[in-house]
Amino acid sequence: MAGTEGSGYCPTPLFGRNATVMGLGRHGGGVAVTRFLTTQGARVTITDLRDEQELAESIEGLSDLTIDKLRLGKHCEEDFREADLIIVNPAVRPSNRFVEIARQSGATITSEIELFLEYCPARVIGVTGTNGKSTTAAMIAATLKSDGLDVHLGGNIECSLLPRLDEMTSVSWCVLELSSFQLYWLSDAARRCDVAVITNCAANHLDWHDDYIDYRDAKRKILLANGSTTDANEQRVFDPTGALGPTTCDLTGELDSLPPLHAIGQHNQQNAALAAVVAQNVGCSAAAIDNGLRNFRPLPHRLETIARYENRTFVNDSQATTPESTIAALEATGPHCWLLAGGADKGADLSAMAESVCQNAAGAAFFGQLGPSLLAAVKSIDPNFAGQQFERLPEAFCWCVGQSSSGDTVLLSPGCASLDQYRDYAERAAEFRDCIDVLISEPPAPDLGEAAAGTTHAI
């Protein structure tokens, strides 16, 4: 299979090459790239710091393949010195010494996304940004599908598209959500997206990137020639906020003509308007755009209403892992909102989030590593704010339910990463759902407020 016709880009030859997959992982990317490499005739070594028990599901997904070497629980230098090709999991840090060993030994450093871009025959729309990239990517895919186009959605959302390469043609469209980690590992020679969409850019993942400049520069890799878009015919760029350069599109007209949306909040109005502009530019009809956005449903873990009980609404926004995402959620659901927030530190500035909590929430319970810092930040603004700090989510949930009143919303929108206490944001959301299930099946009595306020063991 060849890359995009006319791109001048030659796919990496894989037959007979020694390929080391660095990071099998649990989310499908490592499995997909391993399967792809073996079908292309590469000799594959898999190495991961996790053990066999942690990776059992991923290993099972490779049971029908012949893998040269499966090394778990550690990395060994020989797997990197002897490799022709290293496929790096996006979460691997830039300073990793094994990657440097491979580079010095002459290996090609690539990633699952770069391999996909090399071998993909379809036209590609790449979507990145600090906030809103998942929803915007999904909205773009929905509008294109509404116009009858062959569309594939993947990247940092849903699943790897490598297994679906055979379904694609030169008239297909791929919509890829791209994280800063995925973009960082793109080589200078990698094929860039035909259409680049940037939702916004604010400091994030500063526990991984050196600083904001490093984070922004990773995002800029979505653009041609490391940020230069000198030939507008080569790549179409949509950057309404000017996050990575000059503003390239105006959303005013689209904002004024959007259909009613199921996705709530002003930020989702912006996402929809951006999706509409992109869809219009690639040739979708106005009717298809209207229909696609009108029927679009919010993605899981993004302002997802999951239950209503005792005239209270429970909303899962667990994928809000930045302060900006939580601010948007509060603006969409406040002021009768009881917020659950906290988690692992990514180096973000929490001051704007604390201000928004005081302005838009009725109260908040903070948990996890950053729980104490968030409570302190809120109390420094408003000492009388109804806030408490707890070690874990269930206790925080119980307190919020007890403090809430009829007509209120209990919102999980952490504003932080989940990795201090959970495998990922989905596991955090699952615990939130469990709390709700227990509440509904074993409701406190006689009064919801009084019982829940003084009892945590029921949740």
What are the residue ranges spanned by the domains of the chain? 18-110, 114-294, 304-454
Whole-angstrom Cα distance, residue 307 to residue 46?
A: 42
Instruction: Please report the pLDDT score of residue 444 as a whole number.
Output: 61
Query: What average pLDDT does the chain have?
Result: 91
Does 8 score more than 50 pLDDT?
no
Instruction: Please report the pLDDT score of residue 446 as a whole number.
Output: 47
- Contact at 8 Å (CB) between 378 and 357? yes
Does 312 score more than 50 pLDDT?
yes
Q: How confident is the model at residue 334 (pLDDT cuts 50, 70, 90)?
A: confident
User: What percent of the chain has a predicted confidence (pLDDT) above 90?
Assistant: 85
- Contact at 8 Å (CB) between 126 and 133? no
Instruction: Please report the pLDDT score of residue 442 as a whole number.
Output: 80
Q: For residue 196, give the 3-state DSSP assignment.
A: strand
Task: Write the CA distances from 155 to 137, 265, 320, integer angstroms.
Answer: 10, 25, 18
Instruction: Please report the pLDDT score of residue 402 as a whole number.
Output: 96
Q: How confident is the model at residue 452 (pLDDT cuts 50, 70, 90)?
A: very low
Instruction: Please report the pLDDT score of residue 232 as a whole number.
Output: 45
The token duo for 216 is 């922004």
What is the fold, at CATH topology level, of the domain defined by 114-294? UDP-N-acetylmuramoyl-L-alanine:D-glutamate ligase (3.40.1190)
Tell me the DSSP string of 58-87. Answer: HHHTTTTS--SEEEESS--THHHHS-SEEE
* Lowest mean pLDDT across 17-21, 267-271, 345-349, 384-388: 345-349
- Residue for token digits 């989702």? 268
- Contact at 8 Å (CB) between 303 and 334? no
Say what the alpha-carbon torsion angle 376, 380, 384, 387 is, to the nearest 10 degrees: -20
Cα dihedral across residues 327, 349, 219, 420: positive or negative? negative
- Residue for token digits 């940092």? 156
Question: Tens digit of pLDDT for each residue in 148-163?
Answer: 999 999 999 868 999 9
CA–chain centroid gap for 202, Å, is 15
Instruction: Please report the pLDDT score of residue 443 as a whole number.
Output: 67
Long-range contacts, stretch 298-304, CB < 8 angstroms, 24+ apart = 298/135, 298/262, 298/263, 298/264, 298/268, 299/134, 299/135, 299/138, 299/157, 300/429, 301/425, 301/426, 301/429, 302/134, 302/135, 302/263, 303/263, 303/264, 303/265, 303/268, 303/329, 303/332, 303/333, 303/413
The token duo for 381 is 């603004």
Instruction: Please report the pLDDT score of residue 225 as a whole number.
Output: 56
CB proximity list for 361: less than 8 A, separation 6 or greater: 330, 334, 335, 337, 338, 339
A 10 A CB-CB count for 437 gives: 12
The token duo for 267 is 């930020």
Does 363 score more than 60 pLDDT?
yes
* Lowest mean pLDDT across 221-225, 228-232, 326-330: 228-232
Does 233 score more than 80 pLDDT?
no
Task: Write the CA distances from 338 to 142, 299, 365, 449, integer angstroms.
Answer: 32, 22, 8, 13
Does 227 score more than 70 pLDDT?
no
What is the fold, at CATH topology level, of the domain defined by 304-454? Protein-Tyrosine Phosphatase; Chain A (3.90.190)
- Residue for token digits 């890829």? 176
Whole-angstrom Cα distance, residue 93 to residue 248?
A: 32
Q: Which CATH number is associated with domain 18-110?
A: 3.40.50.720
Closest C-alpha to 330, from 241, 427, 435, 409: 409
Instruction: Please report the pLDDT score of residue 158 as a whole number.
Output: 67
Question: What number of residues does the chain have?
Answer: 459
- Contact at 8 Å (CB) between 364 and 339? yes
Does 229 score more than 60 pLDDT?
no
Question: Tens digit of pLDDT for each residue in 387-407?
Answer: 999 999 999 999 999 999 999
Q: How confident is the model at residue 247 (pLDDT cuts 50, 70, 90)?
A: confident
The token duo for 204 is 């994030």
- Contact at 8 Å (CB) between 404 and 309? no
